[in-house]
Amino acid sequence: MLVKRSIFASCPLDAFCPFIIVLLAAAYIHVPATAIVAVPSSHCYTFDSDSHLVDFTHLAGKNFEYNEEGSVTSDLVVQLCKDVQRRSQAGGFIDFGRFTNHRSFETGSKLVDYIQRFHNGDLAKCETTFEEMGRTAQVNIMCGRCSNKVCKDEHGCICRVSYDERMCRTVVELAIPCPKRGPRVFKGFTVGFHPRSSEVVYNGLTQLGFEQLHHGFSFPSEQIHVSLYLSAMSSLADLVGKPTIRVNPMKGLDVMLTGSGANGAVPTALSPTVLNVNWICEIIRSNPYVVNVSIPVVGYDPIEFTLTKECGWFYSDNHQLCI
């Protein structure tokens, strides 16, 4: 702020000043952000073919309708990341399945960008479906417009609908403006408090509670260390580097990393590495310390998560006041 003001004040020609301010603003915006790659707030996300996160959360539940003309008029309705239904005056509602989690949201191939699968729709007249799973739907998502020009809605629409002969499965072509791809996620990587758990990082995504400061998730004053277990897919494990930490405020909490994970040992799914975070409170504070752990991964956005540590007064078992 001070820098901007002094440049502004010493600006020789009034006409240059807005130009300089624009340059300063642009430089500020382009500072690379080291944002934590947090798990999206809904199941409505997937990855592109290059492992970048594509978050459709803002479109979750959005309705897309398609009027089918024929002997009986009906509407096919896709609620993105929710369900697929066919509604008609004569036949009522037919449920073509529900979307259960992000694993049903896949990367497509050449013509189709993403695929959403819906399962466990109505069973009636489809009792012989595979494992009696009921009606199912597959929604092929194309980023952009319909190729057959049936629809001009810029928010997207259904281009085509087809059914198998017994009406137990439908394939829907949906064209929508897709979100921009996000960070490149190191899939398969986990961080947890036990060798087989992943409370902190699951599938390369930082879990809620560890993506920023959370009082409810903080480690108490009396706890002097925490062990974290890191695991990765064996084929990619040697891309993982040595973790680093940043503490805010910088003074008052002494943090030291030990264990195989701190030395840059390669974590695999079968033999996770352990990262011991040892912390000593040196200055008591009413607000907790924020400890950001960053694990670099060659070619991917780093794995980052936040541990929240309290350093207050506490009573020990023998009722003495301790730090």
Q: Whole-angstrom Cα distance, residue 146 to residue 58?
A: 21
Q: Whole-angstrom Cα distance, residue 302 to residue 95?
A: 42
9, containing H or E segment = helix 2-9
Residue among 25 and 35 whose Cβ is closer to ligand NAG: 35
Chosen residue from 264, 292, 296, 314 binding ligand NAG by CB under 6 A: 292
285 binds ligand NAG (CB under 6 A): no
28, containing H or E segment = helix 16-29
Residue among 237 and 307 whose Cβ is closer to ligand NAG: 307
36 binds ligand NAG (CB under 6 A): yes
212 binds ligand NAG (CB under 6 A): yes
Q: Which residues, 6+ apart, have CB-to-CB distance to 208 below 8 Å? A: 38, 39, 41
293 binds ligand NAG (CB under 6 A): no
208 binds ligand NAG (CB under 6 A): no
Q: Whole-angstrom Cα distance, residue 320 to residue 242?
A: 39
248 binds ligand NAG (CB under 6 A): yes
Residue among 73 and 244 whose Cβ is closer to ligand NAG: 244
- Find the binding residues for ligand NAG in span 70-129 (CB under 6 A): none
Q: How far is the CB of 33 from ligand NAG (least distance, A)?
A: 9
Q: Which residues, 6+ apart, have CB-to-CB distance to 195 below 8 Å? A: 229, 231, 272
297 binds ligand NAG (CB under 6 A): no
Quick check: 306 and 34 in contact, CB under 8 A? no
Residues found near ligand NAG in the complex (CB under 6 A)? 35-36, 212, 246, 248, 290, 292, 306
